[in-house]
Structure 1
Amino acid sequence: MNLPSFPIQALLPQIRTSLAAHTRLVLEAPPGAGKTTQVPLALLDEAWLDGRKIVMLEPRRVAARAAAGFMAGQLGEAMGETVGYRIRFENKISARTRIEVVTEGILTRMLQDDPMLEGVGALLFDEFHERHLAGDLGLALALDVQAQLREDLRIVVMSATLDGEKLARFLDAPRLSSEGRSYPVTVAHFAGRRDESLESQARRAVEEALEKHPGDVLVFLPGQREIARVEAVLSPSPAGRGVGVRVRRSSDGSDMADFAVPQPLEAASISASSGHPVSSTGQALLLEGEGKEIVVLPLHGELSIEQQSQALRPDPQNRRRVVLATNVAESSVTLPGVRVVIDSGLAREPRYDPSSGFARLETVNISQASADQRTGRAGRVAEGWAYRLWPQSQRLEPQRRPEIAQVELASLALELAAWGISDPGSGPGQVLRFVDAPPAGALSAARDLLRRLGALADSNSITALGKRMLTLGTHPRLAAMLLSAQGEEDRALACDLAALVEARDPLRSGGDALAARWRALSAFRQGRVAGDAHRSGLAALDAAAKQWRRRLRVDGTAPREIEAHRLGDLLAHAFPDRIAHQHPLDPRRYQLANGRMARVFDDSAIFGEPWIVASELRYEAKDALILRAAPVDEARLRQEFPQRFVTEDAVRWDAAKRALSAQRETRFDQIVLETKPAGRIDPQHAAAALTGAARELGLESLPWSDSLAQWRERVRCLRDWLPGEGFPDLSDEILLETLSVWLQPAFVGKTRLEALSEDELADALKSRVEWSQRQRIDSLAPPRIAVPSGMERRIEYSHGQSPVLAVKLQELFGLADTPRVAEGRIPVTLHLLSPGGKPLQVTQDLRGFWERTYPEVKKEMKGRYPRHPWPEDPWSATATHRAKPRGT
């Protein structure tokens, strides 16, 4: 095997030794070190692998193809022999393949379909610092497989910029670090001009880079749209910046255009030769400057293999290149000849969009780690230069935030259910271990949605429908809709809807009718483009719908004309929580199936529809705003969701009357369609309604006696003072969360809040504490304490503070030390009072008071209270709560 020289090679013996002794490894190696292509090859002949496969997870399709192709080339083989790849809708593997490079969704399916991973000896997670949700899930599942089924499975996590020490602790794994291969890179911040667009700033930076520096130029841009715009300003077309355009015929028959642009591209020209693909037109830009051709090429994940390959290999005619790339060029792929990087500082990353209910790509600032990684691309072959298109004063986040913390989790929840997991966690002893655990609130909301979609049972176990939804590899909302469609026409229509829901709005005029978008798409297919539609947007929609039809093997096509409710009837299966019914008193308001209210625009195209389903909402403080919707046929709802139409007695709290009201309601989910007075109130329903009222009004609405309030404070204090004793949590938050457990039984048989007595509330609250523990509470935190005067005085408890004993000074004569509670651990704060009950001193040091402060107090108080004792020696004086008898 003839391997080229890479910095990682010096570390390969240690990697082999470590994996021979341990089943996990964290490998840190900067871009250019060669970890992606050299580590898998170096492990092929290891004894522990025993002829089995190595599966390497590569987050991006471009990188997966490129890495597999490079390794195959090193072996002198064709793709699909020893090395192959599998990505969505494409694979190059055979029975002889030993190294499979796969993308994230493929790995998840492999683990779900075959948890034993028969024939696989090692899983390599490349570029783990990107922290994609699928990568985090894949690692969690792999760790579970290793712990439960395959102790011999090797897991290697490779990263360029992640905190390797933290990850090694999490995995309980050795950590190895490799040197990179880079030359010095000079970094400059290329300031934008006032109100300058990104493409204009990028063009100026490209011009300067080509004039001042040698080598190829790599421009990092957030997405395809920005790549197309920068192509346009580099192009001499009327839409671009060039002037004096003149089109002529080249010698080979292709169109040529002469144009002039400002220095340094003097007297440049563009060739429209069809042999050089770009994203927007399918052709490369050939710029001529200073007597040399300059090739402008795009690089992003939606290009064909040949188009991507052209950006990843040197130009065959040795021309300088300007590569316009998304963050696919940030890691894993190598672009030869790059000496200058121009970094916009932006990237498209998924963020949860509450309006649509999906995670959608947003343009965000990159992290400092990503900026450093991009900069390093300029120093791979020689000294380089990096232009950063943001102010030097702008501070970036140190690391990229994991997707699991900021996207919608329905897909994750469905995968977990398929794995048999109901409660993932990140700590020891948890069922499934994530580097960062999924947020509990987001996961709970995701499961609630999946139950509405029919993918989960009430126990959070996956249903037969949920298993079918998983096979589609898309968001559960869309999967539920696609699987609900019956008949070829409706299935084709569902494919159109899936494309419409995921795409940008193809209409310039906006509006809230989803039907208007579909009709524009239908017209486009018939050769017409509406005046307010984007042709490119409609073309993208049509292509996406065709892809859906291919995936689902739909032979038919969507009809040319439809009634609007046909869209809504299908869409209801994707958004069952957003089916809405018109309010009977306010026709612009709709009640949603999830219980919330929403409103339509004043000029809404769906105004007047009795039933709608909203695919997009903007949640606001009061009513949500319906941004996109379609009408729904009620008869179709009753046919397809019969279980959600119910008639039952409902007992509710009437806040104005402070009493319960009973009604017989007909509902669709939480939408009330009809109400009638009901008869006798069911005691259990009444108790639940009163409990709900208490939750809404707060704990202060309950009949707290002073002694019960103090008992609760005593328990809360003891929970802090003696954490090992197991005292219950009686905080407001916990009591409100558990009202149905401890309070609801006390409301059985009652119809008003005021019917609950102080004693009943006390019994209900104390029911949370066993009898033996109640006695322990009285012993450790007594409500009263005997003082030397022979009287019992009350101790006041307040959570978070020391207990307080307010007592007249004369009642403590003869007491040397401050009283204590909680087995002597907690001193009582003494509020020493005058005979008239006025405070004289606050102290936790009674002995110090007698020694240092009492003489002064006696001198001042003796004349004011002559009938009360003020002995010279308080240590031996008799304590009393009375004044001296008259005449003494």
Structure 2
Amino acid sequence: MSSNATKINPYTNKAYSANYFVQREQALALPVASALPDLLSAVANNNVVIVVGETGSGKTTQLPKAVLEQLQKDGRRLALTQNRRLAAQLVAARIAEEMDVPVGTVVGLRHRGCDLVGKATRLEVVTDGSLIMAAKADPKLTGYSAIVIDEAHEHSVATDLLLGLLKELAVQRQNDLKIIIMSATIDADLFGNFFPGSVVKTVSGREHKVLLSYLASPAQSSVDTIVETILQVHMFGRSGNILVFAPSVGEIFKIIKMVEEALGGTRTRLGPEDVGPMSCWPLHATLSPDAQERAVHAVAPARCNGRTGRKLIVATNIAETSITLTGVTHVIDSCKVKSKIWNVEDESWCLREQWVSKAAARQRAGRAGRTREGMAYRMCTEGGFHEQMLEHSVPAIMEGDMLRECLDILKMGRSPLTFPYIIAPATETIVKALGILRQLGAIDAKGGSLTSRGMEITRLPVDVYSAVVLLDSPRFGCSDEMLSLISMMEASEGGKQLFLTAFTDEEKAQIAKIRNYFKHPSGDHLTLFNIYTAWRSASSAGTADAFLKENKLLGAILKSADSTRLQLLRILYRHESWALRFMSPLRLDYYNLMLKALAAGNYLRVAKRESKSEPKKFTTLSNSAVARVETSLGPPSGANEWVMYNEYASDGNTKRFLRCVSAIPPECLVSAQPGYWRDPEFLPHGHIRDSLVKVIANMTGGSEDFIRGGMPNAPSGTS
């Protein structure tokens, strides 16, 4: 028996497995291994250390382990953050394997819907959002002796908030907290200037050359060009797997379908004798965890007819960093990303396709050279790359509405207006967010403190409007139904991600027919509820798979909704004033009460039809903007002039849209939140005010003249 076999793992008090020694040899071969003594010395002698390391250096797994061993006498934990759930899962699994322990013991994992952390946990791999949740309960993060922020260069909203918090903790806990900031790109000056007194250390990555190829001229269709490049690489390129970066989920499925058709589907271009086999895998955030892991770990098909098999992964920017994709030697980069951007002036969202930054493009190209020399094909001209792309990506915190972020900052005991942002959002955005939160009753009149309602909202991992719906739903007797509906809205992005992608006219007609079958006359919200309840019924009957296939639904989305529902239920049960209540579907007011419960949280997102001659044009009450109804599940019936919506969106120019829309009787609006509707001064002049005054007069029996002068007491029928 070898001496290795007799060594005892101090974390398990058992002999190390044979795999441990294999993993240790591989870890010692990583570029970061030779730098660890210098890095550990820097950590020992400084409160804040910034580590700049190329992708593939091993810093994500090796440095946290080494720091943990250095601080092992301290009974507290080390937290290692990741920007995405999939990255957190894979990193935790890798570190646990190298330490020869199961995930959930010494190495823990925490992210939304997952809490594998116990008393024995010493190294906790968490999403940055989960660490923000911990900071809201314990603003000084006293349970941790070291915090490692990974992928800081990506500037996710949660990471940037953590950096601001850690800047203060570096002073408040300078004697007992080690802070390590890790970035894959050379923007160390930004972090170094943000943390005075910090030291910067650089770790080299693996030196595998990646050759770059650009388009000779701009492509008319990026999808067609990407597919053609995939086929050319598969036929003539050197061995190795192919990774494609697409702008969005829609393009992912289009690319995969076109490749499969070209390799022997309905639009045959190449036969099995022409090329080797290829397996195609989508990879994006809305896939189930199992589907994501299959895409990452699946191996390329075996050689067939003397030709090499390949694995094709078509991904969003989820695959840029942290996730190890073995065997990739070809990267095909669309050089595009779709970003959701908030316009503070008219309170609209815009989904904009734009160029990635040069730094992101370099990260993507680097994926081809992780194990050996590779090739990266950029779907832009070389001139376009240098002239049109920014050096670094715009931080996400500068593109959002700051509603949730302002609540989180207030919960951590700071002011959103004076918080030390590493890159600050516009002051106008913060002021607008505080105004909306004040109207929702989440903060006090001065905007400096959370109300009890605001404290409750911060505990719920949904948007603030949906949180209000959930908290108010028991008074309408439908908290069970609202849990299901809100969970479906979260998982499906308001119905946008729910059905399989349709490519042909026939497929589009089939899905339109299915949508119509589930459609509720009021519109999107209750249609989503109908789909969820039908799936739950099929699951109970053991026919879920057949149901999904027949109705062309994405099972991962419905399972995600189920998981979100359970998570929300656990949180809500901790609220003393909240109760789980459900209604009989036989009640005549079954759907009306659900609409009323929705209106209790969406009263700031209401619009009225412009005129009967233009039934899809509505005027929003919040800013008197004219917008058209645009719905993925089918527009509401024209019986009602009033609608509530989940998203007010822009095309980036002059057109405005309302998305995830439901018609609602105005009486339901007024009775759902009577206090809000007492003062008509906030309303636009004209037909909206006239219509609302008539509604209140009918509900209260008061005169219209009296109501125009000031709202009477709250109308009856509030539940």
TM-score for both structures, normalised by structure 1: 0.61
Secondary structure at 1:56 match in 2: strand
1:613 aligns with 2:644: yes
Secondary structure at 1:347 match in 2: strand
> How far did 1:538 drift?
7.6
Map 1:248-267 onto structure 2 (within 5 A). 261-262=269-270, 266-267=272-273
Residue-by-residue CA offset, 1:815-866 (whole Å, 9 max, x unaligned) = xxxxxxxxxxxxxxxxxxxxxxxxxxxxxxxxxxxxxxxxxxxxxxxxxxxx
* Higher Cα radius of gyration: 1
Secondary structure at 1:117 match in 2: coil
Q: Indicate conservation of the 8 Å contact 1:52/1:120, yes or no.
A: yes
1:301 aligns with 2:301: no
Q: CA 1:630–1:75 in structure 2 vs 1: closer, same or farther (change >3 Å)?
A: closer
2-structure distance, mates of 1:580, 1:335: 47
Q: Indicate conservation of the 8 Å contact 1:314/1:336, yes or no.
A: no
Other-structure match for 1:481: 469
Q: Which amino acid aligns with 1:462?
A: L
1:326 aligns with 2:326: no
**RMSD of aligned Cα (Å):** 4.2
Map 1:282-431 onto structure 2 (within 5 A). 289-290=275-276, 293-313=277-297, 315=299, 320-352=310-342, 362-395=352-385, 396-425=389-418
Other-structure match for 1:844: none
Q: Indicate conservation of the 8 Å contact 2:52/2:202, yes or no.
A: yes
Q: Indicate conservation of the 8 Å contact 2:478/2:581, yes or no.
A: no
Q: CA 1:33–1:393 in structure 2 vs 1: closer, same or farther (change >3 Å)?
A: same
Q: Indicate conservation of the 8 Å contact 1:571/1:615, yes or no.
A: no
Within the candidate set 481, 495, 502, 1:492 is matched to: 481
Secondary structure at 2:280 match in 1: strand
Within the candidate set 213, 225, 241, 2:262 is matched to: 241
> How far did 1:472 drift?
1.3
1:469 aligns with 2:457: yes
Secondary structure at 2:675 match in 1: helix
> 499-508 or 136-145, which moves further after superposition?
499-508
Residue-by-residue CA offset, 1:761-820 (whole Å, 9 max, x unaligned) = xxxxxxxxxxxxxxxxxxxxxxxxxxxxxxxxxxxxxxxxxxxxxxxxxxxxxxxxxxxx
Residue-by-residue CA offset, 1:37-72 (whole Å, 9 max, x unaligned) = 111011122259724311011101121111111112
1:630 aligns with 2:657: no
Alignment length (residue pairs): 612
Within the candidate set 436, 459, 462, 1:449 is matched to: 436
Secondary structure at 1:335 match in 2: coil
Within the candidate set 557, 561, 565, 1:549 is matched to: 565
2-structure distance, mates of 1:104, 1:495: 26
Q: CA 1:623–1:366 in structure 2 vs 1: closer, same or farther (change >3 Å)?
A: closer
Q: Which amino acid aligns with 1:267?
A: E
Q: CA 1:61–1:497 in structure 2 vs 1: closer, same or farther (change >3 Å)?
A: closer
Which of 1 and 2 has higher RCO (CA within 8 Å, sep 6+)?
Answer: 2
Secondary structure at 2:88 match in 1: helix
Q: CA 1:566–1:9 in structure 2 vs 1: closer, same or farther (change >3 Å)?
A: same
Q: Indicate conservation of the 8 Å contact 2:50/2:199, yes or no.
A: yes
> How far did 1:11 drift?
2.1
2-structure distance, mates of 1:579, 1:568: 13
> How far did 1:309 drift?
3.8
Q: Indicate conservation of the 8 Å contact 1:80/1:97, yes or no.
A: yes
- For structure 1, the 5+ residue unaligned runs are 246-258, 269-288, 426-431, 654-664, 680-888
1-structure distance, mates of 2:143, 2:471: 33
Residue-by-residue CA offset, 1:562-592 (whole Å, 9 max, x unaligned) = 7765454233233322335678999988775
Q: Which amino acid aligns with 1:613?
A: M
Other-structure match for 1:746: none
> How far did 1:196 drift?
3.7
Q: Which amino acid aligns with 1:515?
A: S
Map 1:725-744 onto structure 2 (within 5 A). none
Q: Which amino acid aligns with 2:204?
A: E
1-structure distance, mates of 2:43, 2:553: 50
Q: Which amino acid aligns with 1:160?
A: A
Within the candidate set 128, 134, 138, 1:110 is matched to: 134
1-structure distance, mates of 2:92, 2:679: 60
Q: Which amino acid aligns with 1:463?
A: T
1-structure distance, mates of 2:111, 2:278: 32
Secondary structure at 1:381 match in 2: coil
2-structure distance, mates of 1:110, 1:244: 50
Within the candidate set 196, 207, 220, 2:245 is matched to: 220
Between Structure 1 and Structure 2, which shows a larger proportion of helix residues? Answer: 2
Map 1:669-748 onto structure 2 (within 5 A). 674-675=704-705
Q: CA 1:129–1:536 in structure 2 vs 1: closer, same or farther (change >3 Å)?
A: farther
Other-structure match for 1:429: none
> 376-385 or 583-592, which moves further after superposition?
583-592
Q: Indicate conservation of the 8 Å contact 1:260/1:266, yes or no.
A: no
Other-structure match for 1:789: none
Secondary structure at 1:515 match in 2: coil
Q: CA 1:23–1:167 in structure 2 vs 1: closer, same or farther (change >3 Å)?
A: same
Q: Indicate conservation of the 8 Å contact 1:121/1:153, yes or no.
A: yes
Q: CA 1:516–1:543 in structure 2 vs 1: closer, same or farther (change >3 Å)?
A: farther
Map 1:570-609 onto structure 2 (within 5 A). 570-580=597-607, 592-594=620-622, 596=624, 598=626, 607=638, 609=640
2-structure distance, mates of 1:169, 1:565: 56
Residue-by-residue CA offset, 1:690-744 (whole Å, 9 max, x unaligned) = xxxxxxxxxxxxxxxxxxxxxxxxxxxxxxxxxxxxxxxxxxxxxxxxxxxxxxx
> How far did 1:93 drift?
3.0
1:73 aligns with 2:134: no
Q: CA 1:192–1:565 in structure 2 vs 1: closer, same or farther (change >3 Å)?
A: farther
Secondary structure at 1:576 match in 2: coil
Q: CA 1:83–1:47 in structure 2 vs 1: closer, same or farther (change >3 Å)?
A: closer
> 335-344 or 131-140, which moves further after superposition?
335-344
> How far did 1:595 drift?
5.7
Other-structure match for 1:189: 214
Q: CA 1:312–1:666 in structure 2 vs 1: closer, same or farther (change >3 Å)?
A: closer
Map 1:524-563 onto structure 2 (within 5 A). 524=531, 526=534, 535-536=551-552, 542-543=558-559, 545-553=561-569, 559=585
> 490-499 or 226-235, which moves further after superposition?
490-499
2-structure distance, mates of 1:4, 1:360: 47
1-structure distance, mates of 2:95, 2:655: 57
Within the candidate set 676, 701, 710, 1:644 is matched to: 676
> How far did 1:522 drift?
5.9
> How far did 1:518 drift?
4.6
2-structure distance, mates of 1:536, 1:355: 39
Other-structure match for 1:231: 256
Q: Indicate conservation of the 8 Å contact 1:500/1:541, yes or no.
A: no
Q: Which amino acid aligns with 1:44?
A: L
1-structure distance, mates of 2:621, 2:268: 61
Q: CA 1:629–1:71 in structure 2 vs 1: closer, same or farther (change >3 Å)?
A: closer
> How far did 1:546 drift?
3.2
> How far did 1:226 drift?
2.6
Q: Indicate conservation of the 8 Å contact 1:115/1:145, yes or no.
A: no
Q: Which amino acid aligns with 2:523?
A: A
> How far did 1:203 drift?
4.6
> How far did 1:89 drift?
0.9
Q: Indicate conservation of the 8 Å contact 1:649/1:678, yes or no.
A: no
- For structure 2, the 5+ residue unaligned runs are 1-20, 303-308, 500-510, 539-548, 570-579, 686-692, 697-702, 710-719
Q: CA 1:47–1:106 in structure 2 vs 1: closer, same or farther (change >3 Å)?
A: closer
> How far did 1:175 drift?
0.8
TM-score for both structures, normalised by structure 2: 0.74
Q: CA 1:523–1:538 in structure 2 vs 1: closer, same or farther (change >3 Å)?
A: farther
Secondary structure at 2:383 match in 1: coil
Q: CA 1:678–1:534 in structure 2 vs 1: closer, same or farther (change >3 Å)?
A: same
Q: CA 1:407–1:645 in structure 2 vs 1: closer, same or farther (change >3 Å)?
A: closer
> How far did 1:496 drift?
1.9
Q: Which amino acid aligns with 1:446?
A: A
